[in-house]
């Protein structure tokens, strides 16, 4: 449960942990409260109040059934927006894990494409890969998109500050 929901709804009562709570009529046990500074894996305008195991998604959120699509996002082929986070085993090599996951991804995409995929589909499968990134600060496309520009801007501000300090020093020396 989020810290915000815990304080707003339960007044920060620590006895909530371990108790049952109903979400959409489904009973869940509160196993913990996230730290106040944690808003989820992605920064959003309205962060979630709860995090539940993905395996329980069909119980809480029903998915429209069309064209025989599975109810679970775990078994669906069209859930591309879902970001997964995991933890490497202690001592595991991130490059080896990424290579193994990339192999599994390509096998899955090849199976979905059928026995005779188009050249474009085959190329996209070959170019598909899994990238493992540190998750300590969450996932943010803005961070990835603007970090280089922000570093450049920071260096520019430092340069202007050094020039201003040099000018002030010259004025003091000229007196």
Residue 158 confidence (pLDDT): 98
Secondary structure in 3-state letters for 92-133: CCHHHHHHHHHHHHHHHHHHHHCCCCCHHHHHHHHHCCCCCC
Confidence label for 13 from pLDDT (cuts 50, 70 and 90): very high
Question: Is residue 8 scored above 90 in pLDDT?
Answer: yes
Task: Name the token pair of 40.
Answer: 């989820």
Pairwise pLDDT comparison (164 vs 142), residue with the higher score:
164
Dump pLDDT digits (tens) for 17-44. 999 998 878 889 999 999 988 877 777 7
Looking at the chain, the whole-number percentage of residues with pLDDT higher than 90 is 51
Q: What is the mean pLDDT of residues 124-147?
A: 81
Query: Using CA atoms, how far apart are residues 95 and 103, in angstroms rounded to an integer?
Result: 12
Task: Name the token pair of 60.
Answer: 């809480």
Residue 70 confidence (pLDDT): 63
Task: State the chain's mean pLDDT as an integer.
Answer: 86
Query: Using CA atoms, how far apart are residues 79 and 62, in angstroms rounded to an integer?
Result: 14
Pairwise pLDDT comparison (156 vs 138), residue with the higher score:
156
Confidence label for 60 from pLDDT (cuts 50, 70 and 90): confident
Q: What is the mean pLDDT of residues 140-162?
A: 89
H/E run at residue 157: helix 141-174
Query: Using CA atoms, how far apart are residues 117 and 62, in angstroms rounded to an integer?
Result: 32
φ/ψ (deg, to 5) at 130: -105, 130
User: Is the separation of the CB atoms in 60 and 22 below 8 Å?
Assistant: no
């Amino acid at each position: 449960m989020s810290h915000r929901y815990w304080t707003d709804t339960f007044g920060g009562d620590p006895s909530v942990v371990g108790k049952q709570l109903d979400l959409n009529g489904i009973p869940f046990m509160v196993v913990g409260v996230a730290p106040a500074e944690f808003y989820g894996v992605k920064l959003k305008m309205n962060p979630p109040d709860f995090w539940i195991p993905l395996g329980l998604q069909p119980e809480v959120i029903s998915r429209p059934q069309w064209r025989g699509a599975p109810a679970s996002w775990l078994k669906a082929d069209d859930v591309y927006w879902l970001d997964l986070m995991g933890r490497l085993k202690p001592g595991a090599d991130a490059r080896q894990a990424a290579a193994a996951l990339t192999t599994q991804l390509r096998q899955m995409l090849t199976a979905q494409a059928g026995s005779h995929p188009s050249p474009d589909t085959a190329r996209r499968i070959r170019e598909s890969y899994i990238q493992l990134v540190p998750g300590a600060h969450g996932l943010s496309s803005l961070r990835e998109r603007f970090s280089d520009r922000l570093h450049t801007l920071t260096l520019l501000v430092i340069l202007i500050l050094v020039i201003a300090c040099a000018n002030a020093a010259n004025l003091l020396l000229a007196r």
